[in-house]
Amino acid sequence: MASDALSRAAHHGAAPSPRPTTPLRLLALDIDGTLIDSAKQIMPFTQQEVARVAATGVHPVIVTARAINASLIIERKLGVAASHIAFGGGTVRVRTGSGLTVLEEHPFERSDVALMLDAANGADVHIGVYTATEWHVSDLGFWGLREARNTSIWPDSVGDGAPLRAPADPVFKLMFRGLPETLAPIKETIDRELPGAFAHLSARVLEVTTSRKHGALRALSDHLGIAPHEVIAFGDTEADVPMLEAAGVGVLMGNADPELRVAPHVERTLSNDEEGVGLSLRKHFPTDAPFRI
């Protein structure tokens, strides 16, 4: 597996990056495909290394397109207090000694939610609508059950067969699941009608948020007085690339799409099933502690 990752790095012309001379002070972690493995669990060595690095004073931040309540579940499983960037940047919450404080939030306009739902009306897709505290789904079939299993969150309401409408509370994310050829026209409509939104299509999932991870991370790091070159960030998809490229150390997971292009200074590590995060943390935060994996 390790040789596979090295060969991929060679294929993309990525040379090993030197260790930064400035201490790293903020650790940004994507969840799916990065912090958690393909079984949706945090691997033991990675959990150990995140805790070790956090204990040195590095500020952990969970950066995800997931809802904030799902991000908080990951924090509890990780066992390390963290700040949160959820809904792809739609909400930014700072962890302090007294708890979490909302730094900024960017929900959709209600009319924009209606436009996106209308774009999916009549299509064979599963629809999920996320407010700050609730998850509403069009049905509880295969895709709804899969998302519930992946995130440990049960939907707050299930559609009755009629077209799903926007809830009363502000919406931070919409998720459409189905065949790529069915999702593509929905994305085209969103890209055309709502150029300020970020519609990320990956395989059979289309996630739409108001913000991008890298902008939210910059806002959080500025608030904490941490410069971009003092950030180490991990991710695995197109949605993570600007964040990785802006960080002092950006690390792309070995399970990323081989065709995904990143700047030459972005490092490549092993996959999320090979403790890629934990091994890179051991590399950038050396220790005399025993290496057991």
Same domain, 36 and 82: yes
Domain membership of residue 236 (yes or no) is yes
pLDDT by residue, tens only, the chain of 293 residues: 444 443 444 444 444 445 455 799 999 999 999 999 999 999 999 999 999 999 999 999 999 999 999 999 999 999 999 999 999 999 999 998 889 999 999 999 999 999 999 999 999 999 999 999 999 999 999 999 999 999 999 999 999 888 999 999 999 999 999 999 999 999 999 999 999 999 999 889 999 999 999 999 999 999 999 999 999 999 999 999 999 999 999 999 999 999 999 999 999 999 999 999 999 999 999 999 999 99
pLDDT for 1: 41
Count the alpha carbons within 13 Å of 44 in the hemisphere toward its beta carbon: 3
Residues of the chain by 3-state class (helix, strand, coil), percent to 5: 35, 25, 40
Query: Edge-to-edge strand order for the sheet containing 91-96?
Result: 99-105, 91-96, 83-86, 59-63, 26-29, 231-235, 249-252, 267-268
pLDDT for 169: 96
pLDDT for 97: 83
Same domain, 101 and 219: yes
CATH assignment at residue 179: 3.30.1240.10
pLDDT for 49: 98
What whole-number distance in Å separates Cα of residue 33 and Cα of residue 126? 22
Same domain, 55 and 100: yes
Domain membership of residue 51 (yes or no) is yes
What whole-number distance in Å separates Cα of residue 284 and Cα of residue 251? 11
pTM for the full predicted model: 0.90
Last residue within a domain, chosen from 183, 209, 235: 209
On whether the CB atoms of residues 186 and 125 are closer than 8 A, the answer is: yes
Domain membership of residue 293 (yes or no) is no
pLDDT for 21: 59
CATH assignment at residue 70: 3.40.50.1000
pLDDT for 28: 98
What are the residues whose beta carbons fall under 8 Å from the beta carbon of 48, sequence distance 6 or more?
Answer: 278
Same domain, 197 and 232: no
Task: Quote the domain boundaries for residue 145.
Answer: 110-209
The DSSP 8-state label assigned to residue 157 in this structure reads E
pLDDT for 161: 87
On whether the CB atoms of residues 275 and 291 are closer than 8 A, the answer is: no
What whole-number distance in Å separates Cα of residue 51 and Cα of residue 48? 5
Domain membership of residue 291 (yes or no) is no
Last residue within a domain, chosen from 209, 239, 264: 209
138, 188, 190, 207, 230 from 193: Cα distances, Å = 23, 9, 5, 16, 37
For residue 26, give both structure tokens. Answer: 């903020």
